[in-house]
Chain A
Amino acid sequence: QKEVEQDPGPLSVPEGAIVSLNCTYSNSAFQYFMWYRQYSRKGPELLMYTYSSGNKEDGRFTAQVDKSSKYISLFIRDSQPSDSATYLCAMERGNMLTFGGGTRLMVKP
């Protein structure tokens, strides 16, 4: 079993939809949780990071962490075609990040 599981998709939604992206993990030692966005043939860029359980909002993006369930989510409101990308969750333990496999999102106009 992988330490971090993420549905690979692809997830196809119409423009304006609310998108929910999720990751589950098995190691309770993970302390920080991050979401990266990766456009095709580009390096990942950091979207959000969170530490504690609860919600963190940044514009159209909301990151949610539930440590008791070992489950994290990224919500995208009013999705745009420019949000079409692969979204990677990442979790920190010590000096290392463990990444999920990424979910490919397609937002159709």
Chain B
Amino acid sequence: SQTIHQWPATLVQPVGSPLSLECTVEGTSNPNLYWYRQAAGRGLQLLFYSVGIGQISSEVPQNLSASRPQDRQFILSSKKLLLSDSGFYLCAWSVISGRNIQYFGAGTRLSVL
């Protein structure tokens, strides 16, 4: 069966520090991969998605970037965090064809202080 791992679960970082969040998927090949941010009490905002290694599409221009160095690995990064980057970050995957049913990781709660 497929599983998605996301870490760390909680992260507290100072303003101006770098960020690296990692997501890996097991049990499937060539998945679509997604990064979302969820603000408190609000819906999911799509940040990046990838349909293959090295293929990244950005939905919202901002202080963040994403990379997909391996088929089942998706990384969210920032060179310098802003206060506004605080939030709940979620990674998701879906099969590359057919229904786009997305399955989510447990999320990373990021606090930028």
Residues of A within 8 A of B (CB): 6, 8, 32, 34, 36, 41-46, 49, 88, 90, 92, 94-97, 99-102
If over half of A's interface residues share one DSSP class (helix, strand or loop), that class is named, otherwise mixed; here it is strand
Complex: how many Å from CA A35 to CA B32?
20
Q: Which residue of B lies closest to A51 (CB)?
A: B99
B49 at the interface (CB under 8 A from A): yes
Complex: how many Å from CA A2 to CA B99?
23
B44 touches A88 (CB 8 A): yes
Q: Please report which residues of chain B, range 33-57, place their CB below 8 angstroms from some CB of chain A when the two chains form the complex.
A: 41-44, 46, 49, 51
B90 at the interface (CB under 8 A from A): yes
B1 at the interface (CB under 8 A from A): no
Residues of B within 8 A of A (CB): 6, 32, 41-44, 46, 49, 51, 88, 90, 99-107, 109
Q: Which 5 residue pairs across A and B have the least CB separation, nearest first?
A: A43-B104, A101-B43, A99-B44, A99-B43, A43-B107
B41 touches A95 (CB 8 A): no
B107 touches A95 (CB 8 A): no
Do A43 and B106 form a contact, CB below 8 Å, given A95-B32, A95-B51, A99-B44? Answer: yes
Complex: how many Å from CA A43 to CA B106?
4
B100 touches A46 (CB 8 A): no
B105 touches A43 (CB 8 A): yes
**Apart from A44-B90, A92-B100, what are 19 other A-B pairs with CB-CB below 8 Å?**
A6-B43, A32-B99, A34-B101, A36-B104, A41-B107, A41-B109, A43-B6, A43-B90, A43-B107, A44-B104, A46-B102, A88-B43, A95-B49, A95-B51, A95-B100, A96-B46, A97-B102, A101-B41, A102-B42
B109 touches A8 (CB 8 A): no
B103 touches A46 (CB 8 A): yes
